[in-house]
Structure 1
């Protein structure tokens, strides 16, 4: 068995004294693991870091085997990601989200989104807006998509201000006003094609929204906790808003 594909490294773990098991998100073969012999060598270590993009060739005698990877770097961004807290936390969040997908199950849209986001993680606000959109995509890919484009009560598509915590559907400002204390705020940027970076306060609200549904549908039923990096990243976004207000 053999294939070649584009991939992004999302994690590694030791295997024996000299090798690594590398976890990739690939364009056509989904989340896939394989062993890299000699992966702990000084020569290989800079390549085998989360956030780097590679061309991967996987070989195994049988499809169900772990198999071996041969990896060639295409974009080495890991060193730059590790220079900032937001880059470090961001790549950890994305890796944890991708691991929610079944292994070897293709998700081309997830791969494309991951590739697009990685270059922005060093900027907490811009990167945060993209990560939270990625969480919306992950909910959809996992079968728990949110309906953020039409009011659940009236069917209107304008002035959508809330999301029902029960249905995951948007609610207009007028229809939701009597129950606003029970609703989740819907930041407008989640419904629009991004044209500029949203306010950091809106991004924090968006993380609260996606976090609620991830806890309800994914982490809770699986007996899991959200990655610690997520809370730390959201704190970075909130601090950037406080700094902006202090300087205004």
Structure 2
């Protein structure tokens, strides 16, 4: 069994004294792990970093085996972001969430494509936090837990949407949600395509996606939101970017 495809590295962990187990997010083969022999060498270390885009050739005797990777660098994004602590925190958070939420070897091409868009946007600090929120919302949708933000769950109206029900993931209007506003999740306009990004919107969006990632994806698998995501939020808060 073998295949060749490009993708983004989302996880690297040491294996033995010289090798590494690398997980790559690809369009056709999903989040797929493999062993890179000599992966801890000085030459391979800059290549095998989460967020880097690589050309990977995977080979195994049987499909269910871990298999071996041969990788070549396509884009060393992690190195280019090394001096930008905020962007690097976003990159690490996205990689960690992909590893925690995506089933292994299950193709999710839309998620992989959106991940590529997010990584390329990380050099634009005024843009990428909102794109990150949209990426997590898209991840939820691709896993079958999409938010319904098209209209109010109570009235059916498509305007004045201000909340998301923490139980159903459906939008709620200002009027319908007023009696329960303290129990609702605030819905920022950029998530529905209305209004410009305002202070507090990214934080509100991350609360929505984090809430449903935990309850619908991670908790049933006995997992929690990764520490890298919490560190990203702390960095964003410190930079006044929430």
Q: Does residue 1:50 correspond to 2:50, yes or no?
A: yes
Question: 2:170 matched to which residue of 1?
Answer: 169
CA contact (8 A) 1:28 1:108 kept: yes
Residue 200 to residue 75, structure 1, CA distance change in 2 (3 Å): farther
Residue 95 to residue 149, structure 1, CA distance change in 2 (3 Å): same
CA contact (8 A) 1:7 1:27 kept: yes
CA contact (8 A) 1:125 1:200 kept: no
What SS class does the counterpart of residue 54 from structure 2 fall into? strand
What CA distance in whole angstroms lies between the structure 1 residues aligned with 2:241 and 2:85? Answer: 17
What CA distance in whole angstroms lies between the structure 2 residues aligned with 1:139 and 1:87? Answer: 22
Alignment length (residue pairs): 241
Question: 1:146 matched to which residue of 2?
Answer: 147
Residue 236 to residue 13, structure 1, CA distance change in 2 (3 Å): closer
What SS class does the counterpart of residue 155 from structure 2 fall into? coil
Question: 1:4 matched to which residue of 2?
Answer: 4
What CA distance in whole angstroms lies between the structure 2 residues aligned with 1:200 and 1:57? Answer: 44
Q: CA deviation at 1:77?
A: 1.0
What SS class does the counterpart of residue 69 from structure 2 fall into? strand
Question: What RMSD over aligned residues (CA atoms) do the two structures have, in Å?
Answer: 2.0
CA contact (8 A) 1:125 1:203 kept: no
What SS class does the counterpart of residue 58 from structure 1 fall into? strand
CA contact (8 A) 2:51 2:92 kept: no
Identify unmatched segments of 5+ residues in structure 1.
Answer: 244-248
Alignment of 1:55-74 (within 5 A): 55-74=55-74
What CA distance in whole angstroms lies between the structure 2 residues aligned with 1:104 and 1:166? Answer: 30
What CA distance in whole angstroms lies between the structure 2 residues aligned with 1:242 and 1:218? Answer: 27
Residue 58 to residue 242, structure 1, CA distance change in 2 (3 Å): closer
CA contact (8 A) 1:200 1:240 kept: no
What CA distance in whole angstroms lies between the structure 1 residues aligned with 2:27 and 2:194? Answer: 24
Question: 2:240 matched to which residue of 1?
Answer: 241
What SS class does the counterpart of residue 181 from structure 1 fall into? coil
Residue 6 to residue 52, structure 1, CA distance change in 2 (3 Å): same
More helix by share: 1
What CA distance in whole angstroms lies between the structure 2 residues aligned with 1:200 and 1:59? Answer: 48
Identify unmatched segments of 5+ residues in structure 2.
Answer: none
Question: 1:24 matched to which residue of 2?
Answer: 24
Alignment of 1:159-198 (within 5 A): 159-192=160-193, 198=197
Q: CA deviation at 1:153?
A: 0.8
| TM norm structure 2 | 0.92
Range with greater deviation from structure 2 (67-76 or 113-122): 113-122
What CA distance in whole angstroms lies between the structure 2 residues aligned with 1:230 and 1:59? Answer: 32
Q: Does residue 1:78 correspond to 2:81, yes or no?
A: no
Q: CA deviation at 1:186?
A: 0.3
Q: CA deviation at 1:214?
A: 1.8
CA contact (8 A) 1:125 1:240 kept: no
Post-superposition Cα deviations, 1:183-227, rounded to whole Å, max 9, x if no partner, equal 111001011189x7x234111111111122222222333332212
Post-superposition Cα deviations, 1:118-168, rounded to whole Å, max 9, x if no partner, equal 133355552211111111112112222110111101111111111111211
